[in-house]
Chains A and B, each alone.
Chain A
Amino acid sequence: MRENRIEELSSGPESGRRRILVVGSGAGFSGEVMDYSVHLAGRLNYEIVALNVIPTAWDAKVSEQRADAAADALRKKASRNAVPFEHVVKFGSLGECVEELNQTIKRIELVITDSGVNGEEIGKEVTVPLFCVDSKTFNPQGGRDMADHQNPTNKKALAVKVAGLGALSAAIYATVFMNADTVMHYCTKGGLYASLPILTVFAVSFVHGAFASNLWSLLGIEAMKKESLRQTEQKVAEKRKVARKKPRAYAYVNPFHKI
């Protein structure tokens, strides 16, 4: 059961590529680490090797499943950006596992970890540049691709807001239309009475505008995050598509690829 698992690493068609080793903390990868490493790999034309090191004291089966699930997210992110991806699960101490992997799969150019991983432990064993992505600073506004990751309490507060503003907006409309004759009489008097329709539309635009804004938020339609991220993803994917047109035999005939 407690066997170290390496998915077709050295035999894969892309094995001649240089690699980024992404080390997750225990059984997971933080969003920041995933984004950073996938984009970096895309730009550098590297391959990603994701490593989960599970301490021997943990329940092997459960941990492995969790590691697989976590790696799946990273795998999908990588495939969206056309970055080749491998996943490795190892048991034991962090430093030893990284060193072992470094020996087996070669061409690991750099290691990316998140701040939950003890980098020193890796540094003691391996002489590969180690980058630590700070994943503790979670920005609630810009931390995700879409803003519809509100937690349920936020959503509840939003619903209350929508209901309140909606009622207020409806009240304004009801007042105007139930007294349409009076309202029209004064609003069309002209002169200084001109302020009446102007003030009314201002009031409506504040109340009804806020209602509309919150309504779209409640429905999960909100502004998307930075354009730049998507553009990078797109460009990288395009670039990789071009790279993939190379004859596949390239990797097999490369006489150095296993050295």
Chain B
Amino acid sequence: MSQITPRPGRIQRAPEGFLSPEQIREVSAGRRDFLRTAFASASMVVAGTSVARAADGDPAILTLPEHSTTLGRPVAERPYGAPSQFEAGLRRRESPGLTRVAGSSVSFSPLQGLFGIITPSGLHFERHHQGWHDIDPARHRLMINGLVKEARVYTMDDLMRLPSVSRIHFIECGANTGMEWGNVAVPTVQYSHGMLSCSEFTGVPLSVLLDDCGIDRKRAKFVLAEGADGSSMTRTISLDRALDDVLVAWGQNGEMLRPENGYPLRLVVPGVQGVSWVKWLRRIEVGDQPWATKDEAVHYIDLMPDGTHRQYTSIQECKSVITTPSGGQTLLDKGFHNITGLAWSGRGKVKRVDVSVDGGRNWRTARLETPVLSKALTRFNIDWVWDGSPAILQSRAIDETGYVQPTYAQLRAVRGTRSIYHNNAIQSWKLADSGDVSNVQVF
């Protein structure tokens, strides 16, 4: 960005952590003269040296820190590594008041601080219907029965002997962004879009197991997936999908699934809402009719304006969101910024993402970062120089079928505002001249 002249004062921005939000606002508004004072007092706190020293340069450089002058910690001190103590802000969190029992609730992924497309396993969003368990894999079984030549049982030993594949896919809860159907309800992207994660899953294609049992291809139309937890969660999956790209998976991001994500076995149903990705998978039944299970007849049904409910809504249509800058964040300064976000489609690859900074009047096409994979999160980035005036940031994804992510007005014109599920509208973030970003809806 050649038009950005490096400012000589930039080095002094290190003590940002010592500034109050008001002071950050003042800096953003261009009042950087007082920074010198703040910087001086901060350097006294940190280095305990004279104020005069600050004029020579940054104390983070001039005064060697403890980590450069002492012996560090040994290998394997933490046999399973953990994030830095300074990363404590990025956590899965519940949305207060959304549910009333933590055993049947949701925790949201902190999208506002994640990079690339892979969700760290420990930050993968959670949705449990009757609490989670850490199941002994030696006692776990998968049974396949119904319209098959032979009902069969597999241990984890059996399954992990089979030819496995590893594939990167997103998982999104059907209710993601559900709180925002009627109006803005939550402050940050963690709560508006955080029932979304993406992992590399390792497992055996379900079609391999169905063939191993001798599926009756003439009569079979649907399969039922059933979990081993207390609720024994069940969902119907159509046979053409089951034979397409569905996996019976044990691996997630190079290790076994986390207990909260279904250890030791879960279904991976690419492009389909998370509720169908049955965790702690214990049984697949092959049948000729859908089952109308609790999560197909009471929940995960979309209320339409005419008073009917759409049943068996499964596909997650193309959607995107800017993750930085996003609601609840403050830009530190005018000048260059990288607008970054995520795009995905349950119908295939993301073909293009456009970004607007003027509330949808004008759009520019963003860069898609590799890899761009089918039914996986895709990272987009676009350069932007903020001139300090108010702006409304939006992203709009287009998938390989040519489908364009809709506006709120377009979505509501067809589906009303009472659906709860499958809200894939274009998200708007309002940037004030203070640098504060907030959640708004724009027509």
A in complex with B:
no
A interface residues with partner B (beta carbon < 8 Å): none
B interface residues with partner A (beta carbon < 8 Å): none
